């Protein structure tokens, strides 16, 4: 059985899906048959140098067929063995290799916030030059362990992605929010950067698989809140009115919880927005001037304390917070007629209001 194992040399089925397979025995029996599949190339290596190459097919390991093998004859075995390392290199790409991790802390040009980017995905790897791969990696990396080779390539790819994404975002080419819409351009830039590093090792990253670049959860929440605040401030006109609206909204929610008024009235009053979403001018009339009637004939409620005209439907004064309609109506001391809020003279008899 041992003789049969040595008679045929080939990559085992369990090792088909790896870039490099090293035949475990350094002593190769003369006249053995090497089976090289259509997507493989076999290399005889001695002292870090490639001595002979075998392409796809069945080869008899003999110096008569491969004259260069004469340099590999083991004289101690009486010429019955060749002493060399035999590598089988796959010429097809290996896909589904995982990569990922933290990219970088970067300042978002739009919000000027420092955020953390992360990436997770897959890539495919292939051998560009089998001879260069063996001569550059032998002695520096364990090519017999496919996991280590793939992990090393994944680290190079992650480094290239850090460089490409950081430069693209810093130059304003790619936004931090919405990077998924630029994955095609990111892939091209990352592969170009990665293959520059892999070139001298005879490898190349052929493509990226399903990958995505995301924000750290806390950074994503922060940017969403900031975007909401900026939108509301733009609608309100300035930050002061937006802050007042937020305060009124909080008060309205508290009153609603305890059976009080509606939060919509508070926010509308604070932002100067009526029930149909239109802006209502909010000018404080001079003392003694009755509030102007609206087109519908409904008067704006006037605060009895500070005499500020408020939007229709407001329940609290937007200036001092007094509940509207809570003040008792005043009457003229001369004729007893009811006085309009803020009036300095009676509209019926002209007497001065006290």
Domain ranges of the chain: 8-90, 93-215
Q: What is the CATH number of domain 93-215?
A: 3.30.479.30
* Residue 302, pLDDT score: 83
* Residue 244, pLDDT score: 58
In this prediction, residues 259-276 reach a mean pLDDT of: 45
The full length of the chain comes to 354
pLDDT tens across 289-332, in order?
444 444 444 577 888 778 888 887 777 787 887 777 655 567 78
> pLDDT band at residue 227, thresholds of 50, 70 and 90?
low
Mean pLDDT of the chain: 77
pLDDT tens across 132-172, in order?
998 887 666 677 777 888 888 899 899 998 888 888 888 88
Nearest in space to 157 (alpha carbons), one of 120, 200, 115: 120
In this prediction, residues 243-264 reach a mean pLDDT of: 54
Q: For tokens 């089998």, what's the residue? A: 130
pLDDT of 212 strictly over 80: yes
> pLDDT band at residue 210, thresholds of 50, 70 and 90?
confident
Given a contact cutoff of 8 angstroms between Cβ atoms, the answer to whether 49 and 135 are in contact is: yes
> pLDDT band at residue 258, thresholds of 50, 70 and 90?
low
In this prediction, residues 88-117 reach a mean pLDDT of: 84
* Residue 294, pLDDT score: 41
* Residue 209, pLDDT score: 86
In this prediction, residues 198-205 reach a mean pLDDT of: 92
- Burial grade of 282 (CB within 10 A; 0-12, 13-18, 19 or more): middle
Six-digit token string for 258: 């305890």
pTM comes to 0.56
* Residue 111, pLDDT score: 65
């Amino acid at each position: 059985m041992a003789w049969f194992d040595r008679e045929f040399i080939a990559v085992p089925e369990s090792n088909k899906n790896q870039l490099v397979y090293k035949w475990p025995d350094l002593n190769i029996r003369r006249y053995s048959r090497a089976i090289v599949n259509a997507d493989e190339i076999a290399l005889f290596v001695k002292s870090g140098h490639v001595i002979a190459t075998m392409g796809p097919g069945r080869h008899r390991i003999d110096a008569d067929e491969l004259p260069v093998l004469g340099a590999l004859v083991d004289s101690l075995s009486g010429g019955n063995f060749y002493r060399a390392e035999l590598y089988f290199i796959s010429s097809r790409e290996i896909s589904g290799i995982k990569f990922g991790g933290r990219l970088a802390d970067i300042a978002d040009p739009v919000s000027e916030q420092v955020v953390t980017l992360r990436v997770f995905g897959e890539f495919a790897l292939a051998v560009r030059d089998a001879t260069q791969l063996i001569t550059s990696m032998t002695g520096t990396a364990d090519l017999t362990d496919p996991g280590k080779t793939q992990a090393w390539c994944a680290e190079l790819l992650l480094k290239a992605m850090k460089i490409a994404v950081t430069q693209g975002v810093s130059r304003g080419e790619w936004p931090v929010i919405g990077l998924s819409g630029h994955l095609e351009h990111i892939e091209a830039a990352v592969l170009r950067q990665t293959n520059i590093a892999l070139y001298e090792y005879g490898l190349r990253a052929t493509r990226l698989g399903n990958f995505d670049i995301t924000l750290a959860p806390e950074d994503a929440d922060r940017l969403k809140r900031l975007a909401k605040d900026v939108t509301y401030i733009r609608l309100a006109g300035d930050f002061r009115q937006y802050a007042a609206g937020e305060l009124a909204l909080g008060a309205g929610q508290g009153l609603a919880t305890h059976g009080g008024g509606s939060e919509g009235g508070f926010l509308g009053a604070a932002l100067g927005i009526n029930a149909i979403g239109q802006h209502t001018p909010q000018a404080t009339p001079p003392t003694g001037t009755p509030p102007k009637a609206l087109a519908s004939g409904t008067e704006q409620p006037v605060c009895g304390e500070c005499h500020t005209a408020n939007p229709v439907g407001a329940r609290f004064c937007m200036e001092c917070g007094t509940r509207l309609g809570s003040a008792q109506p005043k009457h003229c001391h001369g004729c007893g007629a009811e006085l309009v809020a803020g009036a300095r003279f009676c509209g019926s008899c002209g007497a001065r209001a006290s």
